[in-house]
Amino acid sequence: MQTWPLNVYELETKGDVNSLIQMLNNYNWLVRGDAANSLGRVGNPSSAEPLQKTLSDDFAFVRAEAAEALGRLGNRQAVQPLARLLRDEEPFVRAQAAQALGNLGDHQAVAALVDTLYDQDNLVRGRVIQALGQIGAGAAAVSIVEMLADDDMCVHAIQALASIGPASIQSVFKAVAANPNVLEPAAEALQRIGKDAVHPLLVALNDSSAAVRACAARALDELGSPAVIKALLTTAADNYMVWNTAIRSIRKIGEPSVRPLVEALGNDEAGTMERFSAIEAMAGIESDEVHNALVKALASSCPDIRSAAATALGRIGDHGAIEALTEMTKHVCPQSAESAMIALGRINAPIGTLSNEEAADFHLHLRLQHPNLTGRAVKD
């Protein structure tokens, strides 16, 4: 049984760099590869030059081990030799060279890495994207964002763009404007950047591109603050996708959004659309404060606000609103009365508290207007 691998590991344990360097010339390719690997772990700078020479070894395994070792050593003089290895005939060698360049973190490698983004091997492409993220190559962001549309590379691209940070934000927005299909992964990348992305995202809520506005709204759903919620509420509603995304983001923010929503709804000077948006967002949040605000809104002077509040209470299934909604069924405004009836139907409200005449009117009106509506609210 051969024992040469143990010799390599013993030399590594002893830190015998000179002997390990000599083993880079061993006749056995496995010995050479293991020696290169050990030199990387020992981390002595004097092994950098011999390892660079080993990048041209006839065996792919040895070349890959030498590349990995150079990445560990952190010797930036290895950047160009490793960059040349990105054109190696073996995919796993190219992948290892990309990883080593990422570990070195030198911007001199960016151009060569970008040129390798479209390698035919997915392992290589993934390592290249990761390396660009590690380097923090803002200049490469415009190329990385193209990978958001690639199902195989999407996760790598998200991570890389997040690592690059604020320098990638405008490139992400441009990519979304050009291809709305990347909206979701782009939003996740922006979200991972964190607080540094908040201001650019708030600015983007007013972008001329609906896709960019929706992307910004989506990205803000985990970066909630009163200022964010206010901005989402006032996001231009000329596009349903943008508006719907903003509402979903507010709902996802959850409890922290309740106070700003209640204040917006109670502000008579706010535009009807802003107040309507606040109600729509409240429909996905259950709390006593939301209940009180929506019930109060049933008495609004604006019929659209009254109807929206009734609809929201119905969707929440707020049994505590039954009395107020029942009273609203008597409203002189047909729109308001009908909204209250529908809400009661959704809540499955008992209508025994109404007079027989009122119950009959309720039943008839509900059935005529909404023949497919089901619920205990309607007695046969």
Cα–Cα distance between 376 and 380 in angstroms, integer? 10
CA distance 13 to 290: 66
pLDDT at 358 over 50: yes
Residues 328/337, Cβ–Cβ less than 8 Å: yes
Of 371 and 26, more confident: 26
pTM of the model: 0.77
108 within 8 A of 86, measured Cβ to Cβ = no
pLDDT for 355 equals 56
Sign of the C-alpha dihedral, residues 38, 43, 48, 50? negative
Q: pLDDT for 207-254, tens place per residue?
A: 999 999 999 999 998 877 778 888 888 886 668 889 889 888 988 888
**If you write DSSP's letter for every residue of 254-287 in order, what string do you get?**
-GGGHHHHHHHHH-TTS-HHHHHHHHHHHTT---
Q: How far is CA 30 from CA 7, 12, 46, 47, 278, in A?
A: 12, 15, 22, 18, 67
Question: 178: Cβ–Cβ under 8 A, 6 or more apart, which residues?
Answer: none
pLDDT score recorded for residue 238: 67
Cα dihedral angle (288, 293, 295, 299), rounded to 10 degrees?
Answer: 170
* Residue 337: per-residue pLDDT: 87
Q: Tokens 């529908």: give the residue.
A: 342
Q: Average of pLDDT values for 166-172? A: 94
Q: Is the pLDDT of residue 349 over 80?
A: no
- More confident of the two residues 356 and 322: 322
Residue 348 has pLDDT above 90, yes or no: no
Residue 6 binned pLDDT confidence (cut-offs 50, 70, 90) = low
Query: What percent of the chain clears pLDDT 70, i.e. is strictly above it?
Result: 89
Q: How far is CA 374 from CA 219, 226, 283, 321, 343, in A?
A: 37, 39, 20, 19, 12
Mean pLDDT of 322-339: 88
Structure tokens at 52: 């660079």
Q: How far is CA 288 from CA 291, 327, 339, in A?
A: 5, 20, 22
pLDDT at 28: 92
Task: For 12-69, write each residue's pLDDT tens digit.
Answer: 888 899 999 999 999 999 999 999 999 999 999 999 999 999 999 999 999 999 999 9
Is the pLDDT assigned to residue 379 strictly greater than 70?
no
pLDDT at 269 over 80: no
Mean pLDDT value of segment 135-147? 90
Q: Is the pLDDT of residue 153 over 80?
A: yes
C-alpha to C-alpha distance for 315 and 312, rounded to whole angstroms? 5
Backbone angles phi, psi at 376, to 5 degrees: -70, -10
Measured in Å, how far apart are the chain's first and last C-alpha atoms?
90
pLDDT of residue 191: 92
Least reliable range by pLDDT among 97-111, 129-143, 232-246, 318-332: 232-246
Per-domain boundaries in the chain = 1-135
Residue 154 has pLDDT above 70, yes or no: yes
Spatial CA neighbour of 75 closest among 57, 58, 55 = 55
Q: Is pLDDT above 80 for 372?
A: no
Q: Are 175 and 182 in contact (CB under 8 A)?
A: yes
Give DSSP secondary structure letters for 28-68.
Answer: SHHHHHHHHHHHHHHT-GGGHHHHHHHTT-SSHHHHHHHHH
State the sign of the Cα–Cα–Cα–Cα dihedral 205, 207, 211, 212: negative
Cα angle 226, 163, 72 (rounded to 5 degrees) comes to 150
Instruction: Compute, in degrees rounded to 10, the torsion defined by CA atoms 223, 226, 229, 231.
Output: -100
Q: Pick the range with the lowest mean pLDDT from 22-26, 88-92, 281-285.
A: 281-285
The CATH number of 1-135 is 1.25.10.10
> Hey, how many other C-beta atoms are within 10 angstroms of the C-beta on 19?
15
Residue type, 114: V
Amino acid present at 254: G
Q: Has residue 121 got a pLDDT over 50?
A: yes
How many residues are recorded in the chain? 380
Mean pLDDT of 270-275: 82
In the block, tokens 């000179």 appear at 18
Residues sharing a CB contact under 8 Å with residue 301, sequence separation 6 or more, in sequence order:
none
The pLDDT, as a whole number, for residue 274 is: 85
